[in-house]
Amino acid sequence: MKIVADENIPCVREAFSTLGDVKLVHGRGLQPEQVAEADILLVRSVTRVDERLLAGSGVRFVGSATIGFDHVDRAYLAGRGIGFATAPGCNATAAAEYTVSALLVLSERQGFSLAGRSVGIIGCGNVGSRVRARLAALGLQCRVNDPPLQARGAGGDFVTLHDALDCDIVTLHVPLERGGSHPTFHLIDTAALARLNPGAILVNTARGAVTDNAALLATLQARPDLTAVLDVWEGEPEIDLSLLGRVALGTPHIAGYSLDGKLRGTAMIYQAACDFLDMPASWNVQDVLPPATPVDVRAESDTEALARAAVLGCYDVRDDDERLRRLAGLAVEEQSAYFDRLRREYPVRREFATTPLRQVSMTNEQRQLLTCLGFVL
């Protein structure tokens, strides 16, 4: 069996070599001739999977080690009888932890407490629900906007998009949908941005085109009181350097890039492929996860300060922001490759639950907060 796989899917060769011969390729710009003889194709979000890529090929199964699927023509695959699987929720914890890290950085930088602030969570699926739990533990007042979830009869108090935008913080966790009943393409457009309150914070870890980047740049230029955090960008890997210069934190589409989350994604599409082929799964992700480096946490009388020390000791979003900003010093022709290299050569990052904390005594309230944030004490 011939398997073509994106070289940036971690441990993909180790896992899928139990099923056949694995050929690693550069996912962005994958060409039809590279998959012509493949039985299985394994991709990430940088590869568009459609008739152009697969027509005439022998591909029987496509696995995407991602939570989203806007890069895949699912109707075409279904029409051809090609099996398809994604990895829903694989990096949801990491993306939620990214959001927490970013907000703790901003609260320290801007000198305010998160407790008591309002946050509009737009999209409350795998990622948004985890963000909600963690931010509620930090004392934020959460307002959830998720029309598809609401239409399915999910319980909970939902608010309109207008009400979600009327918060101190707005964070986006929706898939990119260009049509259908609930499109999200340019959901945050000029009109939505105009509704943001003075001093509001906007965070986008969803997809770049959920926010109209040109409108966002114009808004930030006109309203310096606003703060934006962007992990995703329109036109990746070619991003707007003017917009990068205006955001408070900018990162190269790595919010969900914990080692745990990436390997979880590999494991999920591996199991799906085994099920599709009716073959036994012999590779186990637990066999390749290394132990995490412990984080030392000082005693802090302030509970939010303690949470900040633990979170930033485990994952500090400022490191990724600093690396991306080096892009501005490169020649134009080198910038796209640098953006992709930051993703390809991303340093090992572990999730809170796998990171031991070495701490002095703390209060029950502090222990409870760290547990709610995901740490295991």
Cis status of the peptide bond prior to 237, with omega within 30 of 0: yes
Beta strand 169-172 pairing with 141-145:
unpaired
The amino acid at 153 = G
Q: Report, as residue numbers or ranges, the catalytic residues.
A: 207, 236, 253
- Cβ-based neighbours of 310, under 8 Å, separated by 6 or more: 295, 297, 352, 357, 359, 370, 373, 375
Can you spell out the DSSP letters for 180-197?
SSS--TTSB-HHHHHTSP
What is the helix (H) or strand (E) element at residue 169, kind and residue range? strand 169-172
Residue 87 CA to its chain's centroid (Å):
12
Give the pair of three-digit tokens for residue 142.
Answer: 């959460």
Under DSSP, is residue 125 helix (H, G, I), strand (E, B) or coil? coil
Under DSSP, is residue 367 helix (H, G, I), strand (E, B) or coil? helix
Distance CA 43, CA 62 (A): 8
Q: Which strands sit side by side in the sheet containing 227-230, from one edge to the other? A: 141-145, 118-122, 169-172, 201-204, 227-230, 249-250
